[in-house]
Amino acid sequence: MWQDRHDRYDPTMSIDEGHLDRLVWAAGEITRWFPGAARDLPWRRIRTPWRALVSEFMLQQTQVSRVAERFELFLESFPSPMAMVEAGEEAVLAKWSGLGYYRRARMLHAAAVCIVERHSGEVPQDADTLESLPGVGRYTAGAIASIACAQPSPIVDGNVDRVFARLTADASIPGEKGRDSRRWNEALIYVSSADRPDLVNEGLMELGALVCQPKSPQCLICPLSERCQSYQLGKVAEIPPPKPRPQKKLIEMHVGISWFGKKLLLARRPESGLFAKTMFPPDVGDFGSMEKLRSLGEVRHQTTHRDVRVHVHLFPEKCIVVDAEWKHPDDPGLALTSLASKIIRLARSDQAPESGAGASSTSSG
C-alpha cells in the first residue's frame, strides 16, 4: 500500500502491525488537535512555498521567538526569490545579522538563485525537486512540500523523532544503526494515512515542541497519551535516551581593534570556513606592526560544535590593513555575526571612559 505511493519507502524495514495501526490513529488525533492548539506564528498566517522555504532556513538552530520577530521584516526585503537574487548575497547577510549560523543565509541565497535560473522563479512543490536546491535536505523538502503544498511527504526532525519514539516505546539511541530508516518509514506511513498532510505534519512538530517536550512532557494533556506505549509503560522520561554529545572543538582567534573616529576597521572573512563572508575585526597577524598593542580581554562564543575564544587586542588609531575597510559598527547594511557584535561591544566599553574629548575630535560616522 505505502510502497505504491512513495518510492522511498523501505519494504525491508518491517513495522509491527500494532505500531502501524497506532501511527494511522495518531494522524487522525493530530488532525483534530492541531487547529485548536496551533501557535499564531507569522509564516502560518499566509501560506506560500517561498515563505515556507524562508521560515525553514531561519528556524534551523534558532529559537522560534527570535525568528518570529524578524520574519516579516526579512520578507519585506526579499518578498520573492527574484527579489533576493537582485538584492545580492551581501544584502541577505546584512538582513540576517543577529540570527547566527550565517551559512544558512548564504545557502538560502544560493537556493533563490537556483529557483530563478532553473524554475522560472517559482519554488518547486514536490519534495524530490525541492531537495535538489542548495541547503535543502530531506526534512526541509518534506516540510515545504507537505505544509505549503499539501503533498504527502514525510518529515523527521527532533520533535517528530521524539514523539514517534515515545509513541512506539522505541528505546534505541539516536544515531543507532537502522533507527533513522525506521523513523522515516513511520513518518511516511503516518502522513500517507492523512487527508491533510499539512495539518498532520505541522501538528506533529507542534506537539513535540509544546507537549511532548524532551524534559517535563505534559502527558496529561497529550492527545496521543491514550495509546502512547511509553506513557503506558511509565518510561516517558527514559525515551528517547540522550544522544552522546561529541566534545566541542576549541578554536582560538586573535583579532585587532583600530578606530578612526567612530569607525572601526573591519575585514570580510574568507569565502569559506568560520563566519565566512561576514565582516569581522582583522586578524592580529594582518596588522603591519605588533608594537603598541594592548589586550582588551577575551570574548567567548559557543556554537553546537565549537567553543570559540577570541583574544581582542587594541591597536593605535588609523591602522592600515590590506583589504580592510573603515565601517560604522551601527551600519544596518553590515553583515555582523553575534560574535563580532560582542567584540565590538568590548571595544566600545574600553573606549567609553576616554570618549569625552576623544569622541568629539573624531570624524563623523
Active site residues: 56
Nine-digit cell string for 333: 547594511
* Measured distance CA(345)–CA(351) in Å, rounded: 10
Q: Are 251 and 309 in contact (CB under 8 A)?
A: yes
Residues 167-196, buried b or exposed e (16+ Cβ, 10 A)?
bbbbeeebeeeebeebbbbbbbbbbbbbeb
Nine-digit cell string for 178: 537502522
The DSSP-derived string for 159-217 is HHHHHHHHHTT--PPTT-TTHHHHHHHHHHHHHHT-S-HHHHHHHHHHHHHHTS-SSS-
| Cα 145–chain centre separation | 18
In sequence order, what are the residues at sequence separation of 6 or more whose Cβ sits closer than 8 angstroms to the Cβ of residue 117? Answer: none
Q: Are 327 and 279 in contact (CB under 8 A)?
A: yes
Q: DSSP secondary-structure letter at 12? A: T
